[in-house]
């Protein structure tokens, strides 16, 4: 019979701990916070518990950096990674960094062709753009909490000439279905896009999604694909839910989001994310 030394036994325990470590990707709006931006105590406590348990917990959101940081702080993630701008920006978090974080990847693109095509089809829509320096440029005094900074009003030509990380298009006069029809008619090329709950369109560089950024991080961390979990509720979460070993849709998610998931939890108003997170402990 072979006897384990203390060091070899400790090594096996370390391997078991590594094998049990999960990479957990969490959407923000409609998942961790409701549509008024409120995070309930059960959701916050459950998220803090999985962080304390040593899992790789990371925010994966369409929000821009400055609108993501308060959520990271609220959960108490001070080490690890986060994905912003639907995969356009990836952060590394560490308390020893000057700001507590650094940008390790940023995917930029030329927004001109998409903006010109959309403006012709959706002339009354409002347009906003996050540039490579983190500034937001907007038409018609377009502001949103997901920007994280106050947008600077510019003319449309200035937006066409910028280098973008994220483009947002919004219209109070159109439905999401009409947005989809407009996009299909235009045939947007060279970008990745998703339509939101309302007539809201998010555009990123070609091939860039939450899933593409998360896959890069998974490879970097050496986490098994089967040890990945993702929770989300929006159309911009579809690729992420498909990517995850366990993809969970929120109860209020649209049908196409539910179809991409492995399971469905309760809605954001019933703390659905907390139920999933507590089940991981």
| Single pTM value for the model | 0.87
Distance in angstroms (rounded) separating the CA atoms of residues 117 and 156? 13
User: What are the sequence ranges of the domains in the chain?
Assistant: 10-107+209-279, 112-205
- Give the pLDDT score at 6: 37
DSSP three-state, residue 224: coil
pLDDT in tens, 189-237: 788 888 777 788 889 999 999 999 999 999 999 999 999 999 999 999 9
Sign of the alpha-carbon torsion through 94, 268, 67, 86: positive
The predicted-structure confidence for 12-66, as pLDDT tens digits, reads as follows 344 444 447 999 999 999 999 998 899 999 999 999 999 999 999 999 999 999 9
- Kindly state the average pLDDT of the residues 246-264: 96
Give the CA-trace dihedral at 76, 210, 170, 265, to 10 degrees: -70
pLDDT value for 13: 41
Residues 89-100, mean pLDDT to the nearest whole number: 96
Band (73; pLDDT cuts 50, 70, 90): very high
Q: Characterize 31-45 residue by residue with b for buried, 16 or more Cβ atoms within 10 angstroms of its Cβ, and e for exposed.
A: bbbbeeeebbeebbe
- For the segment 151-169, the average pLDDT, to the nearest whole number, is 92
Of 264 and 10, the structure prediction assigns the larger pLDDT to 264
What pLDDT, on the 0 to 100 scale, is given for residue 186?
80
CATH number belonging to domain 112-205: 3.30.1240.10
Question: 10-107+209-279 in CATH: which number?
Answer: 3.40.50.1000
Contact 79, 123 (CB under 8 A): no
Cross-strand partners of 43: none
């Amino acid at each position: 019979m072979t006897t384990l030394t203390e060091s070899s036994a400790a090594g096996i325990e370390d391997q078991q701990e590594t094998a049990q470590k999960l990479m957990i990707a969490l959407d923000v709006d409609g998942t961790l916070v409701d549509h008024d931006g409120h995070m309930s105590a059960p959701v916050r406590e459950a998220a803090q518990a999985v962080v304390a348990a040593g899992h790789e917990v990371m925010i994966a959101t369409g929000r821009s950096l400055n609108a993501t940081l308060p959520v990271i702080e609220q959960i108490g993630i001070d080490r690890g990674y986060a994905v912003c701008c639907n995969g356009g920006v990836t952060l590394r978090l560490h308390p020893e960094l000057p700001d507590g974080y650094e940008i390790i990847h940023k995917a930029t693109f030329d927004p001109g062709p998409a903006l010109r095509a959309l403006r012709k089809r959706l002339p009354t829509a409002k347009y906003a753009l996050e540039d490579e320096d983190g500034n937001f440029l907007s038409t018609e005094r377009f502001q949103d909490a997901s920007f994280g900074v106050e947008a600077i009003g510019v003319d449309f030509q200035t937006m066409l000439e910028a280098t973008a990380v994220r483009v947002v298009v919004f219209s109070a006069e159109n439905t999401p279905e009409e947005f989809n029809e407009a996009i299909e008619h235009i045939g947007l090329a060279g970008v990745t896009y998703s339509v939101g709950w309302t007539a809201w369109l998010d555009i990123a560089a070609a091939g860039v999604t939450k899933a593409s950024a998360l896959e890069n991080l998974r490879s970097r961390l050496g986490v098994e694909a089967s040890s990945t979990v993702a929770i989300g509720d929006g159309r911009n979460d579809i690729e992420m839910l498909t990517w995850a070993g366990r993809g969970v849709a929120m109860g209020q998610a649209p049908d196409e989001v539910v179809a991409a998931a492995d399971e469905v939890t309760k809605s954001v108003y019933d703390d659905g994310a907390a139920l999933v997170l507590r089940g991981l402990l």
